[in-house]
Amino acid sequence: MTSKMGSKVALLALSLPASVAVLAHHSAAQFDFGQTVRIEGVVKEMRVANPHIALYLEVKDDKGARVIEYEGHSRNNVYRRGWRPDMVHEGDTISIDIAPLRTGDDGGYVKTFILKDGTEF
């Protein structure tokens, strides 16, 4: 193997872990952060884990009743904003402020959780 080719192989090997890390994290471009929509519903499931929270909320509106998945900040970020593990339970009615999907489909990125007692995080 020539020195020039060996350098290219070494460069490729060194850049591969960085490119995999970049691909592992997705963009938030699908959400319209210029808008805020308030949604109320019943918690079906809330997974607080990294890299993002997954919230499944049963919503009833003019489209009917359905369970919608919402994405949120990381566990660390919501913890710093006041969330604690015992605050949200399956069956709780909560409101959320979201950045809706740009497509207009159900779903969005949770900006704020609003609990029944008015607590926000």
Instruction: Kindly list the domain boundaries of the chain, sorted by start residue.
Output: 37-114
- pTM of the complete model: 0.77
pLDDT tens column, 14-62: 555 544 444 445 688 999 999 999 999 999 999 998 899 999 999 999 9
CATH class entry, domain 37-114: mainly beta
Instruction: Give the Å distances, CA to CA, from 119 to 32, 65, 73, 82, 87.
Output: 25, 26, 17, 9, 9
